[in-house]
Amino acid sequence: MNVLSVDQFSKETLDKLFIKVSDFKQKYQTKEGRDHLFRLQFGKQMCSFFFEPSTRTRISFELAARRLGMGVVTVEDAKNSSTVKGETLEDTIKIVNLYNFDLVVMRHNETGSLARAAQVSKIPIISGGDGKGEHPTQALLDVFTIWERFGRLDNLNVTIGGDLANGRTVRSLANLLSIYDGNTINFVSSPQLKVGDDVKEKLKQDGTGFKETDNVDSVLGESDVIYWTRIQKERMENPEEIGAKYVIDQSKLKIIPEDAIIMHPLPRVDEITTDVDNDKRAYYFQQAENGLYLRMALIDSVLNGEI
Helices 136-150/284-303 angle, 10° precision? 120
56 is catalytic: yes
Q: Which of 281, 159, 274 is nearest to 220 (CA)?
A: 159
Task: Give CA–CA dist 264/137, Å, rounded.
Answer: 14
Task: Given the residues 135, 168, 171, 230, select the one marked as catalytic.
Answer: 135
Buried b (16+ CB within 10 A) or exposed e, 63-73: ebbebbebebe
Task: Given the residues 20, 56, 230, 252, select the one marked as catalytic.
Answer: 56
Determine contact, residues 124/2, Cβ cutoff 8 Å. yes
Task: Given the residues 107, 108, 252, 295, select the one marked as catalytic.
Answer: 107
Report the amino acid identity of residue 266: L
Task: Give CA–CA dist 219/246, Å, rounded.
Answer: 13
Phi, psi dihedral angles at 35 (to 5 degrees) = -65, -40
Task: Given the residues 20, 25, 57, 159, select the one marked as catalytic.
Answer: 57
Q: What count of Cα atoms within 13 Å lies in the side-chain half-sphere of residue 186?
A: 22
Strand order across the 103-108 sheet: 71-75, 45-50, 103-108, 125-130
For the chain, give the number of residues: 307
281 is catalytic: no
Helices 284-303/56-67 angle, 10° precision? 50
Angstrom CA distances, 247 to 78, 220, 229, 250, 282, stand at: 34, 12, 10, 10, 14
66 is catalytic: no
268 is catalytic: no
Query: 225: which strand partners?
Result: 158, 261
3-class SS of residue 168? helix
Which positions are catalytic? 56-57, 85, 107, 135
